[in-house]
Amino acid sequence: MKNFIVLCLTLASLMVLTPFESNAQVKKDDDKLAVLWTSDDPYVADRVALMYTHAAARNHLFKEVTLIIWGPSAKLVAENKKIQKKLMQMKKDGVKIRACIACATAYDVVDDLKQLNFEVAPMAIPLTDYLKDDQTKVLTF
């Protein structure tokens, strides 16, 4: 009787998990990720924001991965060569890197970000579009 109960529980769990796993696989091809990176903390950048964003692109967890440099992170990018190197690798691996021009202007780093070949433009409308788009997940660091 005990073996029968274990067998039933195992089969029930497989039936519950199978639709979820296949649904996740289907959605993976449609989803987009937009990461709004605001922190000027280099440890948050290196160990959290950039690490996850890069992994999401490299492992094809989303159809499209975009990193938005916003606020104090703009100054960190302009000043930190290690972060710049990481961002260049991320870009090479398919991450779209965009920077808010208002933020870059406030920190006087527009030219620095443009020299790195990042898109520096107004970001209020694109961010709003990401937030309103049902297929885009927005993550903030």
Domain ranges of the chain: 1-30, 31-140
Question: Along the chain (141 residues), what's the average pLDDT of each consecutive run of 10 residues?
Answer: 42 38 48 97 97 98 98 98 98 98 98 98 98 97 96
β partners of residue 120: 99
> What is the CATH number assigned to the segment(s) 31-140?
3.40.1260.10
Rounded Cα gap, residues 26 and 40, in angstroms: 36
Q: Give the sign of the dihedral formed by CA 54, CA 56, CA 41, CA 136.
A: positive
Instruction: Please name the amino acid found at residue 6.
Output: V
Instruction: Please name the amino acid found at residue 63.
Output: K
The pLDDT score that the predictor gives to residue 32 is: 97
The pLDDT score that the predictor gives to residue 79 is: 98
Buried b (16+ CB within 10 A) or exposed e, 95-134: bbbbbbbebbeebebbebbeebebbbeebeebbeebeeee
Q: Using N-to-C axis directions, what is the helix angle for 81-92 and 72-79, rounded to 10°?
A: 100
The pLDDT score that the predictor gives to residue 36 is: 98
Which residues, in sequence order, are CB contacts of 118 under 8 Å at separation 6+?
69, 87, 91, 97, 98, 99
The pLDDT score that the predictor gives to residue 134 is: 95
Rounded Cα gap, residues 97 and 111, in angstroms: 15
The pLDDT score that the predictor gives to residue 28 is: 53
Q: What is the CA radius of gyration of the chain?
A: 20
